[in-house]
Amino acid sequence: MADQNRSRTPDRPPRTAPVQQGRQSRRAADPADAHLEHARDGKLKLNRPQRGLIDETEARQLSEDRERLQRQGIGGPLDGRMLSNPAAAATGPDANRPQVRPQAEGWTQQTTEDGRPLLQFKQPRVAQPKTHLADLTLAERQERVKALGLPGFRAKQLSTHYFVHHTSDPERMTDLPAAQRETLVAEMFPPLLTEVRRLTTDNGDTVKFLWRLFDGALVESVLMRYPGRVTLCVSSQAGCGMNCPFCATGQNGLTRNMSTAEIVEQVVRANQVIAEGGLGGLRRDGGHDAERVTNIVFMGMGEPLANYKRVIASVRRMVDPAPEGLGMSARHITVSTVGLVPAINRLADEGIPVTFALSLHAPDDELRDELIPVNSRWKADEAIDAAYNYFVKTGRRVSIEYALIKDMNDHAWRADLLAKKLNARGRGWVHVNPIPLNPTPGSIWTSSEPDVTQEFIDRLNDAGIPTTLRDTRGKEIDGACGQLAAEGDEEADGSVTPPDAGRSGTSASIDLRG
């Protein structure tokens, strides 16, 4: 239950004071809205930040809070599996709460010579798939077709079959010359994904795919139906180099980046499944049901921004109008990251209004350094600054992903700290998605208690941060990405573990989809 004695954010006074007119921007009259200004049309808009981080007073207060907490055994170096005296000075919901340390279960994190978690930003030198139609722009496709001895307009016909009809079957391409059809398709559509396994929830509204790439690497995608839309969670890498201790995908490190076409092919194959009736969950109230994938989330296997060039190219294929691409809305595509700051800033300059999501999971560096190893390269405040910069440049509200893990990052004081840091940069620019984990008895990677979850959400909402608990999917089919691929690797070497035999190392994988 929420602590009734804690202070709540006071109601802000109504904005009734007059606003000065003039050629320059007109500042909002309400002091609480100092971060806002009036544009010439009279509407409020968010100012650019006057500083990169919080001001000196806030920074000093946070530093004093941190020192006090460390004296009481909270924060600082986390020795052992659990700190001995966590939150001793805390009152209200944090009283007598333990502080659990992030720790891989069932596997060992790769480390550097000095004992730090190993980070892999570049893929190993490995073979790449053959060039596919989806790797090319329309102009490049035309040149490729001409090089094969055919007129350039055949490229548009091929693009229509793939991006509109979602097929690469030569038998269905009756508008192509029969004598050249097989050769043309073989050159433009080399095999990319082979379906290894498909799992479907009992009600049929969620389907998880395990794909084998041309070189034997395994990746996953998850297809989900919601009222009026269909979302596909796609992978962008085989494996992952970010080495997070909770993630099944990162257990074996980074195998390689996926190609642009391999990423896009996940969408095309999902559309084929929908057309075949393979996705259930259809509405019974007469409402609209989407007939193809409408939303994409880059929250599958891999760190999308570590494969920046190919991910951006795949996004362009998704949003390019048909038949050059899939003709999707950029606003319905979400790109997530654990916090690769230079790539976030680069994404803000791309001119593609995708939704951006930052997987934060902890507002304090003491915990985030171990929970998200890339935090040793770019700290939490730097990642939040980059997220805010994305909002300033694109006008697109940012999502903060925050997996609630019992006694690890779900303390009420962390909700307060998160709200303080987000509000220090302005209001109206961010939305927080707390993510519930699957209950996993005996594991440190388990779900928060319901009252703790509600307290965390309430504190953020009371501080003026829009917060919505994520509706996760696919728990009964190991919906969090990386689990099927881990099993597939075990099957390949003959060491597969039965699904219910305590797969703590893989079942902890955080599910970011939605």
Active site amino acids: 220, 481
* 328 φ, ψ (degrees, to nearest 5): -85, 165
Q: Which helix (H) or strand (E) holds 195?
A: strand 194-200
| CA contacts within 13 A on the Cβ side of 336 | 27
Q: How many other CB atoms are there within 10 angstroms of residue 67's CB atom?
A: 12
Rounded Cα distance between 78 and 449, Å, is: 23
Rounded Cα distance between 423 and 241, Å, is: 32
Q: How many other CB atoms are there within 10 angstroms of residue 27's CB atom?
A: 14
- DSSP states along 317-365: HHHSPTTTS----GGGEEEEES--HHHHHHHHTS----EEEEE---SSH
Q: Which residues pair with 298 in a beta bridge?
A: 335
* 418 φ, ψ (degrees, to nearest 5): -60, -45
Fill in the DSSP letter of residue 80: S
Nearest to 235 by CA among 159, 182, 292, 304: 304
Rounded Cα distance between 74 and 99, Å, is: 7
Fill in the DSSP letter of residue 288: -
Rounded Cα distance between 514 and 512, Å, is: 7
Q: What is the dihedral of CA 91, 95, 101, 105, to 10 degrees?
A: -140
**8 Å CB contact between 349 and 392:** no
Fill in the DSSP letter of residue 203: T
At a CB cut-off of 8 Å and minimum separation 6, what does 151 contact?
Answer: 145
* 203 φ, ψ (degrees, to nearest 5): -90, 0
Residues counted in the chain: 514
Q: What is the CA radius of gyration of the chain?
A: 25
| Spatial strand order in the sheet of 430-436 | 194-200, 206-212, 218-226, 229-233, 295-298, 333-337, 355-359, 398-404, 430-436
Rounded Cα distance between 102 and 260, Å, is: 34
| 323: preceding bond cis by omega (within 30 degrees) | yes
Q: How many other CB atoms are there within 10 angstroms of residue 411's CB atom?
A: 25
